[in-house]
Amino acid sequence: MELPILLRGKEGRNFTIIIGNNMFRIIGAMDDFELRSSRPVLLLISPGLYLYSMAIGYFDTERVELDWAPEVLSLFFMVVGLAPFFLNSWCRKYYGYIVFAALTIFAHYLIITSALNQFHLSYLLGTYVVLFGGILLLTHRILIILYTFSSFLHLFLQLGVSNVSFSDKGAVLLSLATIFVFSMFIQNGFIRYKYKLRKQNMDLETMVKQRTKALERRARELSLKNRELEEFAYVVSHDIKSPLRNVHSLGTWILEDMNDGRLEQGKVNLQLLMDQVGQMDMLVDGILKYSLGIEKKTVTALLDLNEVVDGLIRANNSEKVIIEKDSSLPRLLVDRTQMLQVYQNLIQNAIKYNDKPIAYINVGVMDEVDRFTFYVQDNGMGIAKEHFDRIFKLFQKLEEDKRKDSSGIGLAVVKKILAKNGGEIWLESEAGKGTTFYFSFLKEDVLFNFGNKKSQKESLAYSEVP
């Protein structure tokens, strides 16, 4: 059960705190060090109480004692002292309450016994020792305050109804107050030191967790890079070996043609060889683009995506290519060069793989609750669904794509750029009817102060459509 309490803070604002199971456990909890420290003291109280009672009875035959009280309390403290050995997990949560109850009962028993014996010095000394030690054994300030207040109040009431002289009453109260203050100072310092150690331990645990998460994240990144390197090594060796073999074969044919005097055929083969060299150059250039410069860059200024897209529209619009922007684009915290690569690859692909008399391309953005979803839509030849994953892989081209100017690396570069910046890319397409590429960013990754006091409208900072 939890109890909500309504409080009024500064500026008249109301707020609530919850006092429930957590608070109850915090007050009564003891750590291993506190348990180990409390057990022997409580166990020693049991025989010590019995022996002290016998000693006083031996020297003071006229003493007044509650019947069977020393025996019962000795047995009670023995049970309390042995409990952590058998109920360790339970005692870690609630042993503070057991110690508080045992010490409070014992303190009030001693106060009653002292009052019955007219606050004789032998009884007062025992009472003072127990009150002082009790404060040192308790581990939470609330329990210490309850223990101290109840003991002082009880002693004050017992003194008030006793026949002790006024000066003796004052001396007892003054000495008890001195003991309380002194023990409170000692215990307060211990509690502050304990809380400081606990905070340091929590900070260390937090640091360890953060380091562990960082190491796990780094391990995942290294694993991903290793997979990328394996895939990269495979496709590089496969795709570059093919034109190299062709160059070697064409060189052999040209040599044979020259030896046999077939100059015209030699020119044809030489042209083919040059085409293969050009293809190799394109592959090497693609490898460099994919390998270098595609890392998340530190960006401190918002980039107006309208400027990037408008420049590409001006460069690519023609009689056979019509590119339109459906909506104004936001300003984002992204790198200009990388976003230019993304839009340039998507728009050029939409133009290159379009089989219609006029290529219509639409660029826009959908403003969703927590993210921006951008799209580049065309009316081209479309892509069959079974090829959706393949087109984003390095050097992968569709079978029907026989273009010499295509390296099969553009969409792989786009995907890698977006992934490095926390984005993702996907597509929707139907063969013969066109393709729509989508990519998205979480707003918290690409906007200043997203989620703070600034309104969403102030944070987005849209530009007007020119």
**The pLDDT value given to residue 420:** 81
Among candidate residues 271, 330, 341, the one with its CA nearest the CA of residue 305: 330
Residue 113 host element (H or E): helix 88-116
Shared-domain flag, residues 280 and 392: no
Shared-domain flag, residues 389 and 445: yes
| Site of tokens 């309104």 | 455
Shared-domain flag, residues 28 and 150: yes
Shared-domain flag, residues 8 and 144: yes
Last residue of a domain, one of 291, 319, 344: 291
pLDDT in tens, the chain (466 residues): 444 444 444 444 444 444 455 667 777 777 777 777 777 877 777 677 767 777 776 766 677 777 777 778 888 878 888 888 887 777 778 888 888 888 888 888 888 888 888 777 777 777 777 777 777 777 777 887 888 888 888 888 888 888 878 777 777 777 777 777 766 666 666 666 666 777 777 888 888 888 888 888 888 878 877 776 766 666 566 556 667 777 778 788 888 888 887 878 878 878 877 877 776 776 676 666 666 545 566 667 889 999 999 988 888 888 899 999 998 999 998 888 888 888 988 998 899 888 889 999 999 999 998 899 999 999 988 888 877 777 776 555 544 454 444 555 778 878 888 888 888 999 998 888 899 999 999 998 888 755 543 444 444 444 444 4
Kindly state the DSSP code that residue 388 receives in the 8-state scheme: T
Q: Is residue 185 part of a domain?
A: no
3-state class of 404 per DSSP?
coil
Q: Is residue 201 part of a domain?
A: no
Shared-domain flag, residues 387 and 439: yes
Shared-domain flag, residues 135 and 55: yes
**The pLDDT value given to residue 218:** 85
14 DSSP β-pair partners: 8
**The pLDDT value given to residue 348:** 86
Residue 19 phi, psi dihedral angles, 5° rounding = -110, 120
Q: Is residue 188 part of a domain?
A: no
Planar angle of CA 144, 145, 147, nearest 5 degrees: 65
Last residue of a domain, one of 267, 291, 315: 291
- Domain of residue 320, CATH code: 3.30.565.10
Range(s) of the domain holding residue 370: 303-460
Residue 444 host element (H or E): helix 443-446
| Site of tokens 């260390």 | 204
Shared-domain flag, residues 227 and 358: no
Shared-domain flag, residues 386 and 346: yes
**The pLDDT value given to residue 326:** 92
**The pLDDT value given to residue 386:** 75
Q: Is residue 360 part of a domain?
A: yes
Shared-domain flag, residues 8 and 76: yes
Q: Do the strands 321-325 and 14-19 form a parallel or antiparallel pair, or are they unpaired?
A: unpaired
Q: Is residue 296 part of a domain?
A: no
Residues 76, 102 contacting (CB under 8 angstroms): yes
Shared-domain flag, residues 376 and 454: yes
Shared-domain flag, residues 19 and 101: yes
Our count of domains for the chain comes to 3
Planar angle of CA 92, 93, 94, nearest 5 degrees: 105
Last residue of a domain, one of 268, 291, 314: 291
**The pLDDT value given to residue 228:** 67
Q: Is residue 213 part of a domain?
A: no
Q: Is residue 20 part of a domain?
A: yes
Shared-domain flag, residues 310 and 273: no
Q: Is residue 287 part of a domain?
A: yes
